[in-house]
Structure 1
Amino acid sequence: MKCERLDTDVLVVGGGNAALCAAIAARRKGARVLVVEAAPKFYRGGNTRHTRNMRCAHDTATETLTGPYTEEEFWDDLLRVTEGNTDEALAKHMIAASKEMLTWITEQGVRFQPSLGGTLSLGRTNSFFLGGGRAMLNALYLTAEKLGVDVLYDAPVTALEIDGGSFRAAIARIGGRDVRIAAKSLVAAAGGFEANIDWLKEGWGERAENFLIRGTPCNRGDVLKMLLANGVEAIGDPTQCHAVAIDARAPKFDGGIITRLDCVVFGIVVNRHAERFYDEGEDFWPKRYAIWGRLVAAQPDQIAYIIFDAKSLKLFMPSLFPPISADSIGELAHKLDLPVEALETTVGTFNAAVQPGSFDHTVFDDCRTRGLAIEKTHWARRLEDPPFYAYPVRPGITFTYLGTRVDREARMQLAAGGATGNMFSAGEIMAGNVLGKGYAAGVGMTIGSVFGRIAGEGAANHACN
C-alpha cells in the first residue's frame, strides 16, 4: 500500500500544554508547524485536561497571586521534594525562565483566577487557570489555529525515521492510512507511559495491576520507546512518577483531578490491616501530597483508607465520590471490611497520644502526637466526633519520570554522546530531567510550558536556518 506524504518545518507530536506551547512558539518564529495528536479532538490535550494551576517564580503580588515567590524559594521547594534528584543547572534554568511564562502564556489567550482554598495553600505560589485545564487548552488551540498551526487528531505516530541522530520523518496512522510526515525539526511532547500497564509492571511488578491512571489512556509511551530505540539517551527511574492517593472507586483511566483526595492531614491513614504507616502531618499538602501514591503502592493490595471525623468534613475539597460514613469506628470498620478490633485499637491509641495544641492547617501548628511508633507531627486532632468518615484510596499515577535527556535548549541528547541534530522534547516525556523523584503542585505544567516554548523556538530556528 502506498504511503501518503506530508511535509512541514516543525512536527510536534502530542497535543497537551507542552505541545501547544511548542507549536505556538515555533509558528511565531515563522516556521510551518504541524501538530499530530493521537487522541480524538474531544479528548485532545493529554493530562493537561485535568490540571488546574502552574507554579512560576514571580517578584510581586498580582491580581491573582497574593505575594512574591522568588527563584530561590522555588529552587528550595524543588530541592526539598526531589531530595536532590534533579539536574540542578537545568532546573534553575527552568525556574528562571518561568518568571516570563505567566506573561507569555497570558499573551496566548490563557486567563487566570485567584487560588482555590482548602488545604492547597497555593495562593502565593501557583496561578490557577480560569475554567481549569480544558479552558486553558482551548485557549492555546484557538491561538495556534489563528496563527496557522495545522492540527491532525486521531493521528498516533507508529514509527520514526532517524538517521545519525537527526530526525527525517514520522509515520502516523491517520484515517486508517499510513502517512509519512517529513519535517526539518521534531518536538516530542507525547507524554509518559503511565497508561501502559505492561511497561509499569516492568518496574513495579504485579502491584501495577492495582494502579489507577489519573489521566489520558493515550499516554502509552510509544514515542518514547521509539526515541530510546533510536539512540536517544534516557534519564530517570522507571518506577519514579507523579503518584498520589486517589479515590479507589475512580475509573481505571481518566478520572482526573476530581478523584484526588486532600484530606490526609485531617485524619489518619491506615492499610487493610488497620495500621498507620506514615506521618500524615509531615508537611504542607502541596509539597507532600504526591508521596502518598507511592506509600499506598507499598501497602498490601495497594489500598489504604483515610479516616476522619465530623469536624473535618468541610475543610477540604471532596472527591467525586461521597465518603463512607458510620456512627462508630467499629461500624466504619465493618463497612470498609477492615478488622474491627484493630481499627478501634489504632484510633484509640492515636487519640490517647494527641497532645494539646491550637489547630491551624495553614501553618505548622503544635497539634501533634507523642509516644507512637509513627508520630503525627502536625495537625493531629482526636477522632471522636461522630459520624466518622473514610475514603478508600489507591495509587493514582499522573505521569512517569523515565524520559529523554535534554539540554537547556530542550534538545535531546544521544546515548553515545552529544546532542541530536534537530530533535527536541518538552513536557512529561522529559520531566525526569527536573523531577528525579517527588513532586510539588503545578511543577508539571511549569516543565511543559517552559520547555515547550524553548523547544518550539529551537525547532523553528533550526528549521528556518
Structure 2
Amino acid sequence: MPEHDHLSRQEWDVVVVGGGNAALCAAIEAAEAGCRVLILEGAPAPYRGGNSRHTRNFRCMHQGPLSVLTDSYGEDEYFDDLMLVTKGETDEELARLAIRSSEDCLPWMEAHGVRFQPSLSGTLSLSRTNAFFLGGGKALVNAYYNTAADLGVSVAYEAQVTHVEVNDGRFEAVQAEIAGAPCRIRGRSVILASGGFQADIDWLARAWGPSARNFLIRGTPYNRGVVLNDMLEQGAESVGDPTQCHAVAIDGRAPKFDGGIVTRLDCVPFSIVVNREAERFYDEGEDVWPKRYAIWGRLVAAQPDQVAYSIIDSKSIDLFMPSVFKPDQADTIEELAEKLELPPDRLTETVTRFNAACGEGTFYPTELDALATQGITPAKTNWARPISEPPFYGYVLRPGVTFTYLGLKVDSTARVSGAQGRYDNVWAAGEIMAGSILGQGYLAGFGMTIGTVFGRIAGQEAAAHVN
C-alpha cells in the first residue's frame, strides 16, 4: 500500500496521534515552526475531528469586548466558575494557565480560519463568556484541516494507533493500522491527542459498574482509549478518576454513539424531573444551565434503569433550545404518564404536590430569579412555576457521556510524566489530559479551551525540542 509505505519510510519531526481540535492546534503550531508533521486520525475522513465535530463554542477570558464576546470576563471570575463546578478538584496552576491563555487563543483561532458568530437566543446568557463557532464544531475542524494542508501537514485517516514505543523515557515510533494494514511510523517527538475512553463500553462498565451499559455515548465512537491504556501500562502517570466524565442528560431516543449536541436537552430548569417511580430527586433550578447541565448525566445515572423524565407545561415549552426529537404531548398529566410508561396516579400526585409548593414571585427565564418552592424536598430554588397549563410535555432522559476524565498527567509545558519523571519527547493535549483540570463537573465550552491551549503549547514545545 503506497501511502502506508511512504509514511513508514521516513522519520517525522512530530507525530500527532488524534485528529480533533487539540491535535490540529498542535499540528499547526509545529508546522508553522518548520516541522514535518504527520496526523494519525483514527476515524475515516468524513468522521474526522473526534468530539470537536460536536462542539459549539469556546469559553474565553477577555478584559473587554473581543470579537463576538461582550463586556469582560476576568481570570478570577472564570476560575471561580470552574471551582464551583469541579468543587475544587482541579490543578490550579494548569487551570489558570488554560484560562489566561484563552484570551490569546481567540485571535489565533480567527487567524487560522475559524469564524465566530454572536451567541444564539436560547443559549442562556453565554454572550459574555463563550464565543460560538459559525457553522459549529465541524466548520472549525474543516478550517483547521485546510490550514494544516496549506502548511504541508500530512494526514492519514483510519489510522488506529495500537502502541506507542517508548524506551528509557524516550519516544521512538508508533505502531498503527492504517486502513487495516499494520505499519510502524518513526518520529522525533509525539503529541498524544486521542481523547478519552468513553467509546469502550467494557472499560466504562469496569469503572462504573454494569449500569454503564445503559449509557449513551454522545461523542465519537472512535475514542476507545487505546493510546491512553497503552501509555498507562508503560508507566505513564495517570490523573483523574475513571468514574468521572462529562456526562449530560440527553434525549433517551438518541443513538448509542455520535448523537452529538443536538441530542442535549436544555429543558430541565423549566421542568420537574422524575424517575421511573414518578418521584423528583434533585433541585431542577439550582443554577443557570451552562453551569449545571453537566451534573444531570450523573444524577440520571444514579436512578433506577438509568432513566428519568422531564415534565413541562405549555407556558415553558418555548423557553429552551428545541431538541432534535419532539417531546411526548398530552392534554392531562395522567395521559402523559401513560405515554411515558410512568405510574399515572404517582405522577399526578408528584405534580400536584409540586404545584402546591410553588410560591409568589416574578419569573425571569434567563437569570436566577429565586422563584422557589416551599415545604417540599427536594426544593426547586429558581424558576419554580406550577405545571398547570395544558398541553403537557415529557422528555425521556438518559446519561450521555461526552468524554472521560481519566488521563495522562502533564506539566505546564504539556509534557507527559512517567514513573521516572518527565518523558523526553512525549506531549499530550485535549481530552487525554483534561482530567488534570476537570476533576469533576463541567463548564460549557471549557473542553475546547483546554484542547486549544494545550494543543498549541504541545505543538510549540515539540517543535522547540526537534529544532
Class of the TM-score when normalised by the shorter of the 2 chains: over 0.9
Task: Note the alpha carbon deviations across 1:202-242, whole angstroms, 9 max, x for none.
Answer: 11111011100001100000000111111110001000000
What amino acid maps onto 1:423 in structure 2? V
What amino acid maps onto 2:421 in structure 1? G
Structure 2 match to 1:351: 355
Structure 1 match to 2:167: 163
Q: Does 1:129 align with 2:119?
A: no
Q: Does 1:411 align with 2:415?
A: yes
Structure 2 match to 1:200: 204
Structure 1 match to 2:459: 456
Give 1:363 shift: 1.8
Matches within 5 A, 1:189-268: 189-268=193-272
Structure 1 match to 2:277: 273
What is the distance in 2 between the residues matched to 1:32 and 1:13? 14
What is the distance in 2 between the residues matched to 1:160 and 1:81? 34
Structure 2 match to 1:388: 392
Give 1:417 shift: 4.1
What is the distance in 2 between the residues matched to 1:366 and 1:77? 20
Aligned residue among 401, 415, 433 for 1:430: 433
For residue 70 of structure 2, give the secondary structure of its aligned residue in structure 1: coil
Q: Does 1:37 align with 2:41?
A: yes
Give 1:5 shift: 3.8
CA 1:63–1:421 in structure 2 vs 1: closer, same or farther (change >3 Å)?
A: closer
What is the distance in 2 between the residues matched to 1:74 and 1:373? 32
What amino acid maps onto 1:358 in structure 2? T
Matches within 5 A, 1:112-127: 112-127=116-131
Aligned residue among 423, 439, 442 for 2:442: 439
Which sections of structure 1, spanning at least 5 residues, go unmatched? none
What is the distance in 2 between the residues matched to 1:163 and 1:417? 12
What is the distance in 2 between the residues matched to 1:359 and 1:119? 18
Structure 2 match to 1:70: 74
Structure 2 match to 1:286: 290
What amino acid maps onto 1:392 in structure 2? V
For residue 156 of structure 1, give the secondary structure of its aligned residue in structure 2: strand
Q: Does 1:173 align with 2:197?
A: no
What is the distance in 2 between the residues matched to 1:391 and 1:14? 35
Task: Note the alpha carbon deviations across 1:95-134, whole angstroms, 9 max, x for none.
Answer: 1111100011111110100012215320100000000000
Aligned residue among 55, 59, 63 for 1:59: 63
Q: Does the CA contact (< 8 Å) of 2:425 and 2:462 recur in 1?
A: yes
What is the distance in 2 between the residues matched to 1:424 and 1:257? 29
Q: Does the CA contact (< 8 Å) of 2:130 and 2:445 recur in 1?
A: yes
What amino acid maps onto 1:462 in structure 2? H
What is the distance in 1 between the residues matched to 2:420 and 2:189? 20
Aligned residue among 315, 319, 329 for 2:319: 315
What amino acid maps onto 2:228 in structure 1? L
For residue 311 of structure 1, give the secondary structure of its aligned residue in structure 2: coil
Matches within 5 A, 1:135-146: 135-146=139-150
What amino acid maps onto 2:464 in structure 1? N
What is the distance in 2 between the residues matched to 1:210 and 1:270? 18
Structure 2 match to 1:421: 424
Give 1:63 shift: 4.3
TM-score with structure 1 length normalisation? 0.98
What amino acid maps onto 1:457 in structure 2? Q
Task: Note the alpha carbon deviations across 1:346-398, whole angstroms, 9 max, x for none.
Answer: 00000000000100022210311000011000011000000000100100000
What is the distance in 1 between the residues matched to 2:344 and 2:10? 65
Structure 1 match to 2:114: 110
Give 1:460 shift: 0.9
Give 1:164 shift: 1.3
Which sections of structure 2, spanning at least 5 residues, go unmatched? none
* Corresponding pairs, count: 463
Give 1:60 shift: 0.8
What is the distance in 2 between the residues matched to 1:177 and 1:13? 17
Q: Does the CA contact (< 8 Å) of 1:165 and 1:231 recur in 2?
A: no
Q: Does 1:14 align with 2:18?
A: yes
Task: Note the alpha carbon deviations across 1:36-72, whole angstroms, 9 max, x for none.
Answer: 0010000000000000101010111134112111111
What is the distance in 1 between the residues matched to 2:384 and 2:121? 20
Give 1:175 shift: 3.3
What amino acid maps onto 1:252 in structure 2? K
What is the distance in 1 between the residues matched to 2:402 and 2:350? 31
Task: Note the alpha carbon deviations across 1:396-428, whole angstroms, 9 max, x for none.
Answer: 0000000000000000011x2421110000000
What is the distance in 2 between the residues matched to 1:316 and 1:147? 41
What is the distance in 2 between the residues matched to 1:373 and 1:41? 50
For residue 289 of structure 1, give the secondary structure of its aligned residue in structure 2: helix
Q: Does the CA contact (< 8 Å) of 1:6 and 1:179 recur in 2?
A: no
Give 1:176 shift: 3.0
What amino acid maps onto 1:118 in structure 2? G
What amino acid maps onto 1:374 in structure 2? P
What is the distance in 2 between the residues matched to 1:97 and 1:370? 44
For residue 247 of structure 2, give the secondary structure of its aligned residue in structure 1: strand
Give 1:172 shift: 1.3
What is the distance in 1 between the residues matched to 2:367 and 2:398? 28
What amino acid maps onto 1:331 in structure 2? E
What is the distance in 2 between the residues matched to 1:331 and 1:158? 53
Structure 2 match to 1:330: 334
What amino acid maps onto 1:69 in structure 2? Y
- Superposition RMSD in Å: 1.2
The 4+ residue runs of structure 1 with deviation greater than 6 A are none
